[in-house]
Structure 1
């Protein structure tokens, strides 16, 4: 079986647990700005590493005073914000195990998580989020130490305790007691229990150790020193409940890269020119929307043909940059022209200082990647899962290839099984789920089974080809991997998700879930609400072009004959995961009548 290993760059020797990352950074650069924090009037204040450490220590003492013991589970349910970072590190300083909960989680999901993790204390962001935790505690008999809100008391009503109540008890715990608790955990100790999104089954609690985080933070920082450094800054707007966002936060914190948090992704564009980040982590949809918005502006200015030429030139330049020895595309008259007309304006939209963008969470259209590289903003794609403590593979600065997710990162081994499944082993790979029953099919020969299908290209870079459980077998016996076709259709801005169907059928069909924002922006009816078919001839004609283009990319037996446009509530966490992946089984169950109509 094909297998590629990348040696460690930075062993975790000398580090006891994750808290050492913050302590050592504060010793090296106490006055360096670690965070940008909003002050409520559109402006931002900077928080130094020393101040952040002081905030963490004070809350950690409060947690200990409240009764949190070493090894206890502490849940955090809040939007992405500075206080999330404080609570996360404070829990580790107190020796607790952090259980992140997505703020979009339904009450039944919250109850399931706090029950399974046996949570003793909860931290919510707002009053509503804190009540959600409190209700889950009451239902499950957990949370004996209560639920506390991050918001101050003047924003919380009804007697809900707040974190300031815990901070007020900090003097009950000595510095020596806190240090003893902070250093109680070693590298083998569980640091967090992260519950997977569950696209194909029930959520599972992945237990990640301090060594998992330390290994990832130290080695990724060593591999990406050109990207993450103390001269730069970033904005985190992905949910901090996601292990990628938390891992990124630790990497930045340990290496002095200033962090700003945004709780509303919709405000990112207006914030970019203010904070002017040097690095961003996004999901592919963000890049697709930036490009689509530019296309719409060009269309409004009657420059559609010029814009298309600019896109083609950028993609060509990106491709040339991949082939060049120094990673740069040769200058040309057309490129200089489009630089003035479009490219520098797009970079200005992103703040004007972005050196690199990391795209993860889903597959990125190679031409979108090449486009951004062509305008001067290289996009690094990576691949990982909760169970691998986020990044497992990644393209590196100066060695980026669109359409791939790079080689294994330092300390990681990737193997392709006989059936095409991606198998993983290494510093970031967890040892198992909280429920040992979930481990039965999770490992083979010491490798974690990712459930994803992939292959290595000629240069040893990983190419993702779909999910193993999503394979369709038609009534003719043909086995079809739907991901390539679906991915091609999803490159259309009007399409949020494309779901191929045809298990046991004589031909393939598809449900096309519309993107509500794009449909509304182009003059169509908003595509929200309950799952339903959309009969719009104009929309269908536009999307038919994407269907035809996707069919042209695959074999005849893998082409979709019929499709239906579908509107759905994409904020519904029962059909879409917090990381914006579709829950196929649930969707197809709810849309069974729509699917049946495709075969009448």
Structure 2
């Protein structure tokens, strides 16, 4: 509400009319207009019987109305439960049975039907439904317009009393973990967690988050990183545009021209791959490769300048960088909108070379680290002291230490209150610190570098301990590879599953004038034994093997394809591999690698 008082006419959001192309005229929404919509729906929630402390679910793609109903529920004193619209029936049943929402906002009627079916299957009373879909044919008792109309009986004073009823230590939202390692667990995030992260993160990044800037938000708002970013932008006046389809992101950048963008590493990899493919089509691939090397070298030089402002790049590098800036880098920045001051990469590990490449072309990447249980940002690099491969130092109000096992432990304003299940909470803390499950190390200046996941460490039958991330990341650099998973626990040697990027592989075959591999269009999880693909990817396997000791090298591997029908079972909405789910499903495939 402070933004309403200080900047009521400031443009807070840009929205695209339903069904319109990206280059259509976007509607601008002021802080006052946003607050009025929030208040109208919050009154409707109160009038519909939602009480303080009741749970309200949101199951919809990223969009402006997600932000509106999220705030409306908080204004009404409810506890918000976001759910991925791609969640499986089993996940929905578990979440509904645990959270027991009294009302749910869904993107479409289909989402509502899935929720109702999940409620029935779990033996839970189905919540009231309100659809974000603007279709005027939607009945009044299920539409947002009908909700606002219902709220006309609630006074401003009644709404304000409800809005101010919660204390900082009350639960604001229950965020269920994405389930990369098992059933989702409900993390209890308080108002203090949210407020603390909004204030402290904005203070740490005052050069980045400012009301003269804007961003395009395409991460799922169900994910705590996307939601935290949205709250930070709203509180500080940074204009937000939403995209529900990540495939539209690159095209949107030249239209919306953001000054700041939060991405997952896979998005940056795809931008890099697209640039290389464009150079290949124009028959200038060798020149592009030279430009890429120069950008990485320039990124290394800029890191040196952070440590020593007097550091000077060699003349040859300066000349190459200036030339390639005119030929390649400037055009690539223009494709990204031409105004991006910083990128923030989170949710997965970013290759140091990729971070240096983007910094070298003039788009520096801030690497950050956080989890659902830390209300997103826990550590982050700072402008003027970015180190590729590091996720920076703890943000204000947070602290990190390393356990004897190498596990990263976290404490501070962002660390959640615990899980819904007290047993899970007891297992998650040690000496007042949250056990992140990640392996890491701290430099003398407090900079954190991640080393992998504690649960991902492989111990072979010969007693060799292997952290798989380095090998996997090297293989995943190949543009045809979406994910790689090292296998070897209780086995005599290491093998691997390589998940093909179906979109990139289809384009690769098309560019070659070849018929695509049949596996690319099949449903489920299938082996892709196409010799053309495996020969192409084998170079990445050899490169990864060459970078590790002989005992850590993969002896056999298999390429697999995940069909669209089962993608959500094996990959999270933030494009992380659900490793255990893949290994469980592919057990017969990996068994074959040991025969």
SS of residue in 2 equivalent to 1:98 = strand
Q: Tell whether 2:571 aligns with 1:576.
A: yes
8 Å contact 1:527–1:568 — kept in the other structure?
Answer: no
Q: Tell whether 2:15 aligns with 1:37.
A: yes
SS of residue in 2 equivalent to 1:391 = strand
Aligned partners of 2:85, 2:296: CA distance in 1, in Å? Answer: 38
Judge which range, 547-556 or 209-218, deviates more: 547-556
Select 2:589's aligned residue among 575, 585, 594: 594
Aligned partners of 1:155, 1:82: CA distance in 2, in Å? Answer: 21
8 Å contact 1:532–1:568 — kept in the other structure?
Answer: yes
Alignment correspondent of 1:24:
2
8 Å contact 2:12–2:31 — kept in the other structure?
Answer: yes
- 1:578 Cα deviation (Å)? 2.5
TM-score (normalizing by structure 2): 0.94
Alignment correspondent of 1:536:
530
Alignment correspondent of 2:226:
245
Judge which range, 139-148 or 357-366, deviates more: 139-148
Cα deviation, 1:247-271, whole Å, max 9, x if unaligned, reads: 0001000000000000111111221
SS of residue in 2 equivalent to 1:441 = helix
8 Å contact 1:533–1:565 — kept in the other structure?
Answer: yes
Higher RCO, 1 or 2 (CA under 8 Å, sep at least 6)?
1
Any gaps of 5 or more consecutive residues in structure 2? Answer: 510-515
SS of residue in 1 equivalent to 2:142 = coil
SS of residue in 2 equivalent to 1:109 = helix
Q: Tell whether 2:552 aligns with 1:558.
A: yes
Q: Tell whether 2:540 aligns with 1:546.
A: yes
Q: Tell whether 2:207 aligns with 1:226.
A: yes
- 1:536 Cα deviation (Å)? 2.0
8 Å contact 1:121–1:143 — kept in the other structure?
Answer: no
Q: Tell whether 2:119 aligns with 1:137.
A: yes
8 Å contact 1:149–1:161 — kept in the other structure?
Answer: yes
SS of residue in 2 equivalent to 1:425 = strand
Q: Tell whether 2:298 aligns with 1:320.
A: no
Judge which range, 105-114 or 76-85, deviates more: 105-114
1:330-479 alignment, distance < 5 Å: 332-479=318-465
Judge which range, 94-103 or 558-567, deviates more: 558-567
Distance 1:77 1:277, change over 3 A: same
Distance 1:300 1:441, change over 3 A: same
Aligned partners of 2:109, 2:419: CA distance in 1, in Å? Answer: 31
Aligned partners of 1:398, 1:275: CA distance in 2, in Å? Answer: 26
Q: Tell whether 2:42 aligns with 1:60.
A: yes
Judge which range, 145-154 or 171-180, deviates more: 145-154
SS of residue in 2 equivalent to 1:548 = helix
- 1:99 Cα deviation (Å)? 0.0
Alignment correspondent of 1:125:
107
Any gaps of 5 or more consecutive residues in structure 1? Answer: 1-22
Select 1:298's aligned residue among 254, 276, 279: 279
Cα deviation, 1:129-156, whole Å, max 9, x if unaligned, reads: 1222233334445456511101134254
Q: Tell whether 2:162 aligns with 1:168.
A: no
Cα deviation, 1:394-434, whole Å, max 9, x if unaligned, reads: 00111110011111111111111101111110100012101
8 Å contact 2:494–2:553 — kept in the other structure?
Answer: yes
Aligned partners of 2:239, 2:137: CA distance in 1, in Å? Answer: 28
Give the structure with the higher percent helix: 2
8 Å contact 2:438–2:450 — kept in the other structure?
Answer: yes
- 1:278 Cα deviation (Å)? 0.3
SS of residue in 1 equivalent to 2:81 = strand
Alignment correspondent of 2:513:
none
Alignment correspondent of 1:9:
none
Alignment correspondent of 1:309:
290
Aligned partners of 1:363, 1:291: CA distance in 2, in Å? Answer: 16
TM-score (normalizing by structure 1): 0.94
Alignment correspondent of 1:498:
484
Distance 1:599 1:424, change over 3 A: same
Alignment correspondent of 2:63:
81
- 1:584 Cα deviation (Å)? 2.1
